[in-house]
Amino acid sequence: MTASPPNPTAAILVIGNEILSGRTQDINVQFIARRLGAIGVSLREVRVIPDVREVIVGTVCELRARVDHLFTTGGIGPTHDDITSACVAEAFGVPWEIHEPSFRLLEAHLAPGSFNAARQRMATLPRGAVPIPNSVSVAPGFTIGNVHVMAGVPRIMQAMFAALEPSLPRGRPTVSAAVQAPGLLEGAIAADLEAIQADFPMLDVGSYPFDRPDGRRGIALVAKGLDADAVAAARDRIAAMIRDHGIEPVQGEPAP
Amino acid sequence: MTASPPNPTAAILVIGNEILSGRTQDINVQFIARRLGAIGVSLREVRVIPDVREVIVGTVCELRARVDHLFTTGGIGPTHDDITSACVAEAFGVPWEIHEPSFRLLEAHLAPGSFNAARQRMATLPRGAVPIPNSVSVAPGFTIGNVHVMAGVPRIMQAMFAALEPSLPRGRPTVSAAVQAPGLLEGAIAADLEAIQADFPMLDVGSYPFDRPDGRRGIALVAKGLDADAVAAARDRIAAMIRDHGIEPVQGEPAP
């Protein structure tokens, strides 16, 4: 294994009262987290904050200083509570102004007479922002500096991420292997698992109990890291350890 | 409407590499958020961080200074990566030591000979912590100061929250009303909605597009706040506004 530069780092900022009230179950974090893992970008932190100007501006400034890439979701639609775009302009200290190409794109896309003031806000971007195309509803996200501003609606966010992905820097992708120990409890294998973790310090060895409504119970043991050979070796050690406890291991994650 | 003291505030700290890697879809935040809303505790922020000692200690100190109640999930099992409890002891500057009543409880619950060192860690708490009973698997969560430390496994976390809930301070519960505008787009009603928000400054008036796999599309318009009369009045204004756009409003949130 030769030395490689460290992977790029990232954070996700989820902006929206509807997540904090429990109205909406976020599913964007898992989507972005998996895609970042696959291209070797290391997700360090997620925050969920309300649609409050000073909180958005302050958190964007704080997080973007701390990671290589900050992804935001939510708050870029046409309504009065969609204030993310203006707040990001404020965080960067640049004007928030009509972005002509996006304006023309939306104008051409919408029915005559329906490109009202509210919709024109969706073509208003921080000066210097580069639009992120939106194949679902045309109104763009945007990148400014190391901040990528995306929609909160999952289908639109996913389209924006797909458009953005080719321009993101890549690191070494995370490789992981899971082995199930049906019927086993964490407390029974904790010491053995710690010994395996100690032998593979370059990996994260984790233990995740599962307990399905259909009665399947056990633990999923996961080895994860950048070194595929080490992951395979750790997986074999985990499987042997499960056998030592008198249980036949099952490869892979448990079905939902 | 008479003046009331402001509602207690809260934050949630989700601790676990498995959320940041995208392996696991968090569902604890929505559960806690809804329950807090129902008892009038205002959720201000959620953070997701990895199982890294200095990050956990620092974030616990930061968040607990900022809100009335901090709820953590994850990292209190028996395995080597379960470091939340020791980190919270460090954040409070107190020893992490065997908690005798919890030790005896676990000892009595487990099969003879199986109360090993790993499982004894689950009876090791910050000095001064008050256990949160766990009706599912006995190993407790705990409260120390304004920090409530709970499991990451949803079924266990929910049992702990139920045990904790009666001791939490209450505020005025959030009341909300939703009205659907089938087939309508946000951009068409944004200006009208902003006028309604302006007339009800004590409420949050939000707009949430929905787009179901079965083809149902539209927007859910939600008025939310502490004043039930104002919420009802805003709901009626929203319904009338939808009718003005030639659409028959539907009361309530859209079905999933």
Please give the tally of structural domains in chain B: 2
ipTM of the complex: 0.95
Distances in Å between the Cα of B125 and the Cα atoms of A64, A139, B35, B109, B129 are: 36, 51, 26, 18, 6
Write the pLDDT tens digit of every residue in A2-49: 567 889 999 999 999 999 999 999 999 999 999 999 999 999 999 999
> Rounded to the nearest 10 degrees, how much is the dihedral formed by the CA atoms of B117, B77, B16, A172?
50
Residue among B121, B158, B115, B156 nearest B138 (CA): B156
Give the model's confidence band at B13: pLDDT under 50 very low, under 70 low, under 90 confident, else very high: very high
Query: Do both B155 and B221 map to the same domain?
Result: no
Domain boundary among B167, B187, B219: B167
pLDDT of A2 reads 54
Q: Would you state the pLDDT for residue A137? A: 85
* A2 falls within a domain: no
Which range is least confidently modeled, A161-165, A212-216, A238-242, B85-89?
Answer: A212-216
Q: Identify whether A4 is part of a domain.
A: no
Please tell me whether residues A35 and A109 are part of one structural domain. yes
In a shared domain, residues A97 and A208: no
- Residue A211's pLDDT is 86
Query: Alpha-carbon distance B188 to B75, whole Å?
Result: 47
Question: Does any domain span residue A195?
Answer: yes
Say yes or no: A48 and A84 in one domain. Answer: yes
Tell me the two tokens of residue A35: 């895609």
Predicted confidence band at A238 (pLDDT cuts at 50, 70, 90)?
A: very high
Assess A224–B contact: CB distance below 8 Å, yes or no: yes
Q: Collect all residues of chain A within an 8 Å Cβ-Cβ radius of residue B114.
A: 187-188
Domain end: B122, B137, B167, which one?
Answer: B167
Whether chain A has a CB inside 8 Å of the CB on B13: the answer is: no
Q: How many CB atoms lie within 10 A of CB A241?
A: 19
Q: Are residues B205 and B84 in the same domain?
A: no
Domain that residue B145 falls in: 9-167
Tell me the pLDDT tens digit for each residue of A68-122.
999 999 999 999 999 999 999 999 999 999 999 999 999 999 988 899 999 999 9
Query: Domain for residue B111, yes or no?
Result: yes
Flag if A118 and B187 touch (Cβ within 8 Å). yes
State whether residue A64 is helix, strand or coil: helix
Q: B45 and A45: CB-CB below 8 Å? A: no
Mean pLDDT, residues A137-142 taken together:
94
Identify whether B256 is part of a domain: no
Among candidate residues B119, B135, B167, the one where a domain is terminated: B167
Q: Give the nearest partner residue to A17 out of B46, B116, B206, using CB atoms.
A: B206
Residues A140 and A217 in one domain: no
What's the CATH number where A85 sits? 3.40.980.10
- Same domain as B35, residue B135: yes
User: What CA–CA distance (Å, rounded) separates A95 from B111?
Assistant: 67
Residue A198 lies in a domain: yes
The verdict on residue A188 lying in a domain is: yes
Asked if residue A155 and residue A37 are part of one domain, the reply reads: yes
Mutate to test the interface with B, among A15, A21, A43, A134 (most CBs of B within 10 A): A21
Same structural domain, B181 and B232: yes
Residue of A nearest to B206 (CA): A81
pLDDT for B2 equals 54
- What is the per-residue pLDDT across B207-243, written as a single tens digit (0 to 9) for each? 999 988 898 999 999 999 999 999 999 999 999 999 9
* B225 domain residue, yes or no: yes
